[in-house]
């Protein structure tokens, strides 16, 4: 920011001359002939200094309240499934405020957002997952994604495979589209995932899983549960995996980093690459890998071996997903 003394007095007021502000005050303008010439302090007159101060204190022309970063995006993009949770702020007068970064990753950044209706107590916290175009790097999941799905428009397929900037942008948006859709399906099927609030371009807005003060729920990886709690988390995880399998899906990147635990309950996150276990030629392999990764964590935390029958779990999940006859 320049100091006021750096502003050229012959330039600044002239550029803003005769504009009426949204408080009805007139910005800029020639020095009125009724007003006596005021004394000069440095390079700016006092009048010019007052003018600059008033301009700086003025709210932006959009009328966006101070502290807000944007108007609520509720009227744009795709919205999550019905019924909508009662905590969700859907008023169009709401504003979004960025409270900070929850996590930056290779493929996406996750920001904490407060959506609130100014002048009221209505507010909710959201996690904004923003996919980044991979630029010169590759998404490590792109190849698997492209292997399992084909877009109908061949121009888009070609763009993604040659990784033009158009293609890279498309891939980032495709991840957002894929994650939003899967979350909607899973949420409607009663599987514990964050409620998908909206998708706008490459941004997916999610229910924030954490406390009202903005502290995010820990990942499974961060926990050292007592045996009873560990057993309970295992049962919840199995139940979520069966829920996914009944939808014909497996997570595709399941690990102790993609499971949050809030108030003792697990929530699966990070699902853009969820795999259709029947349609994907490697579906069975992804399912087994997910089961192995997550059971490894439970075993490492001391879940008794006789509680983890890996082949049996994989077989039952394959049956639930109709990969094997029941």
Ligand X SMILES: Nc1ncnc2c1ncn2[C@@H]1O[C@H](COP(=O)(O)OP(=O)(O)OP(=O)(O)O)[C@@H](O)[C@H]1O
* CB nearer to ligand X: pick between 182 and 269: 269
Phi, psi values for residue 205, rounded to 5°: -95, 130
- Within residues 225-264, the interface with ligand X by CB under 6 A covers 257-258
**Interface mask toward ligand X for 105-124; x: CB under 6 A:** xxxx-x--------------
Instruction: Decide: 250 and 316 in contact? Cβ < 8 Å.
Output: no
Query: What CA dihedral angle connects 105, 101, 180 and 164, to 10 degrees?
Result: -50
Q: Does 290 bind Mg ion (CB under 5 A)?
A: no
Instruction: Decide: 275 and 286 in contact? Cβ < 8 Å.
Output: yes
* CB nearer to ligand X: pick between 244 and 284: 244
DSSP 76-98: SSEEPPSSPPTT----TT-EEEE
DSSP 205-261: EEE--B-TTSPBPPBGGG----HHHHHHHHHHHHHHHHHHHHTTEE-SS-STTSEEE
DSSP state at residue 150? -
* CB nearer to ligand X: pick between 44 and 269: 269
Instruction: Decide: 250 and 287 in contact? Cβ < 8 Å.
Output: yes
Q: Does 167 bind ligand X (CB under 6 A)?
A: no
CA distances from 296 to 249, 303, 305 (A): 21, 10, 11
* CB nearer to Mg ion: pick between 179 and 185: 179
Closest by CA to 182, choosing from 206, 216, 164, is: 206
- Within residues 204-223, the interface with ligand X by CB under 6 A covers 206-210, 216, 219
Query: What CA dihedral angle connects 181, 184, 187 and 193, to 10 degrees?
Result: 60
Q: Does 280 bind Mg ion (CB under 5 A)?
A: no
* CB nearer to Mg ion: pick between 127 and 323: 127
Two structure tokens written together for 193: 């995932």
Among 241, 270, 287, 294, binds Mg ion (CB under 5 A): 270
* CB nearer to ligand X: pick between 108 and 191: 108
* CB nearer to ligand X: pick between 7 and 223: 223
**Interface mask toward ligand X for 127-146; x: CB under 6 A:** x-x-----------------
* CB nearer to Mg ion: pick between 258 and 295: 258
Segment contacting Mg ion (CB under 5 A): 52-60, 112-120, 201-209, 266-274? 266-274
Among 258, 273, 316, 318, binds Mg ion (CB under 5 A): 258
Segment contacting ligand X (CB under 6 A): 47-55, 86-94, 103-111, 159-167? 103-111
Which of ligand X, Mg ion, none binds 102 (CB below 5-8 Å, type-dependent)? ligand X
Q: Is the peptide bond before 5 cis (omega within 30 degrees of 0)?
A: no
- Smallest distance from Mg ion to CB 99, Å: 20
Helices and strands, counts by H and E, the chain: 8, 15
Instruction: Decide: 19 and 26 in contact? Cβ < 8 Å.
Output: yes
DSSP 93-123: T-EEEEEEEEEE-SSEEEEEEEEE-TTSS-E
Among 96, 142, 270, 290, binds ligand X (CB under 6 A): 270
Segment contacting ligand X (CB under 6 A): 11-19, 98-106, 225-233, 312-320? 98-106
Which of Mg ion, ligand X, none binds 241 (CB below 5-8 Å, type-dependent)? none
Q: Which spans of this chain sit near ligand X (rule: CB under 6 A)?
A: 102-103, 105-108, 110, 127, 129, 194, 206-210, 216, 219, 257-258, 269-270
Q: Which spans of this chain sit near Mg ion (rule: CB under 5 A)?
A: 258, 270
């Amino acid at each position: 920011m320049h100091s006021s003394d750096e502003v050229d007095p012959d330039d600044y007021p002239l550029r803003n001359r005769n504009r009426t502000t949204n408080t009805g005050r007139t910005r800029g303008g020639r020095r009125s002939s009724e007003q006596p010439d005021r004394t000069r302090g440095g390079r700016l007159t006092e009048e010019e200094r007052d003018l600059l101060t008033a301009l700086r204190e003025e709210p932006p022309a959009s009328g966006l309240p101070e502290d807000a970063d944007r108007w609520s995006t509720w009227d744009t993009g795709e919205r999550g499934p019905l019924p909508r949770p009662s905590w969700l702020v859907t008023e169009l007068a709401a504003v979004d405020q960025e409270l900070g970064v929850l996590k930056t990753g290779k493929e996406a950044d996750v920001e904490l957002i407060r959506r609130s209706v100014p002048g009221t107590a209505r507010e909710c916290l959201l996690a904004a997952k923003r996919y980044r175009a991979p630029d010169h790097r590759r998404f490590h999941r792109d190849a698997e994604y492209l292997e399992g799905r084909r877009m109908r428009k061949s121009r888009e397929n070609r763009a993604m495979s040659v990784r033009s900037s158009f293609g890279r942008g498309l891939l980032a948006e495709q991840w957002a589209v894929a994650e939003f859709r899967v979350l909607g399906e899973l949420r409607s099927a009663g599987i514990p995932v964050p409620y998908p609030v909206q998708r706008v371009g490459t941004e997916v807005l999610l229910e924030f899983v954490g406390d009202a003060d903005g502290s995010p729920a820990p990942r499974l990886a961060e926990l050292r549960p007592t045996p009873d709690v560990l057993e309970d988390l295992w049962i919840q995880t199995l139940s979520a995996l069966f829920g996914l399998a009944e939808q014909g899906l497996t997570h595709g990147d399941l690990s102790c980093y993609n499971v949050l635990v809030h108030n003792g309950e697990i929530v699966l996150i990070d699902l853009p690459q969820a795999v259709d276990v029947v349609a994907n030629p490697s579906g069975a392999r992804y399912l087994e890998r997910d089961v192995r990764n997550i059971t490894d964590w439970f075993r490492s935390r001391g879940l008794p071996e006789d509680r983890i029958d890996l082949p049996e779990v994989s077989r039952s999940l394959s049956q639930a997903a109709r990969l094997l006859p029941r």
